[in-house]
Amino acid sequence: MRASICVSVVVISAVTATASAQDHSYTPADIENGGRLYQTTCSGCHGPAGDEIPGVALGRGVFKRGTSDTDLIAVIKTGIPGTAMPPHAFSDQEAAQIVAYLRNMTVVRTGIGTTVMRGLGDPARGRALFEGKGVTCHRVYGRGPRTAPDLTEVGLTRPLPELRDALLDPSATMRPANRPFRVVTTDGRTIAGRLLNQDTYSIQMLDSSDRLLSLPKRTVREQGFASASPMPSYKGTFTDQELDDLVGFLASLKGFNP
C-alpha cells in the first residue's frame, strides 16, 4: 500500500465519524489510516483487493449488507450474525476510516481515478433527484430512453470515484463503448446517436430520438465517433449533499430493483 496519497483538492472539514451520521467527509489521513486497518484486520478474509468473499467486491462497492457509510460502519463494528463476519472492537472513528479506504480502494491500489473526499449519501434521496431533476437520458430498470448507456448495473461496473467524476466531467470519464456516433448522409442529413453495429454494407444505430436505424453505407458520406460526451456536467447544478445522494443512488444500482 502507498505510504501517502496525493490529493488535488483542499479539504475544508475533517471527518465526522459517528455511527449516526449519514454524511461523512474523508481526509487523506482517514483513507491512509483506514488502509492500514484494513490490511491488518480485514484483508486476511476479504483479500488485498476486497474480492475474495463470494458475492462481495469491496473495491467496487458490492456488499452483502448495507450501502451507506452508516450501514457499513455498523457492520464493521457489530459483524453479521450467522456469517463469518465477526464483530470488531473498533471505535466509530476507526470504522469510518476503514469505510473511507473502501470507498477509495480502487484509486489507492491502481492510481486511476480521483480520490473521493466525501461519502455516499442517501440512495432514496438520490433516486428522487435522478428522476426529478434533469438526469433523464439514461435507462434504469427498463424505464427511460436507450440512447445513453443503461445504468441498471452501473453500481457493479463503475467504481465510486468514477461515478462521481462522471457527473462532474462526463467527457473525461467516457468509456470507448459509450462514445456518441455521428453520420452525415449523402443528401446532407446529420444523424447522431449510439452505434450498435456495422458490417460491410450497413450501419445500425439508435438516433437521438431513440429510433433504430439501419443505414446503407452507400448513402453515408461521413461517419465517426465524437470525443465529447453529450451529457452535461452537473457541477453547480447539484449541491455537495445532492451529489452525495445521487452517487449513493448510482452505487446502489446492481441489476435489480429494490
Written as one string, the DSSP assignment of 159-208 is: -HHHHHHHHH-HHHH--GGG--EEEEETTS-EEEEEEEEE-SSEEEEEET
Cell numbers at residue 164, please?
A: 462521481
Q: What is the pLDDT of residue 101?
A: 92
**Is residue 105 a part of any domain in this protein?**
yes
- Same domain for 243 and 127, yes or no, is yes
- Same domain for 129 and 247, yes or no, is yes
Q: What is the pLDDT of residue 182?
A: 93
* CATH of residue 64: 1.10.760.10
CA distances from 203 to 178, 191, 225, 227 (A): 16, 12, 13, 20
- Same domain for 23 and 53, yes or no, is yes
**Is residue 5 a part of any domain in this protein?**
yes
Lowest mean pLDDT among 9-13, 165-169, 198-202, 244-248: 9-13
- Same domain for 210 and 95, yes or no, is no
Confidence of residue 115 (pLDDT cuts 50, 70, 90): low
- Same domain for 141 and 189, yes or no, is no
Mean pLDDT within 151-171: 81
Confidence of residue 136 (pLDDT cuts 50, 70, 90): low
- Same domain for 221 and 139, yes or no, is no
Mean pLDDT computed over every residue of the chain: 80
- Same domain for 18 and 56, yes or no, is yes
Instruction: Please tell me which of 140-144, 196-200, 238-242 the model is most confident about, judged by mean pLDDT.
Output: 196-200
**Is residue 256 a part of any domain in this protein?**
no
Domain that holds residue 71: 1-119
Q: What is the pLDDT of residue 116?
A: 66
d(CA 81, CA 62): 19
**Is residue 258 a part of any domain in this protein?**
no
Q: What is the pLDDT of residue 230?
A: 80
Total structural domains within the chain: 3
**Is residue 257 a part of any domain in this protein?**
no
- Same domain for 166 and 188, yes or no, is no
d(CA 230, CA 209): 14
- Among residues 98, 119, 140, the one where a domain terminates is 119
Q: What is the pLDDT of residue 37?
A: 94
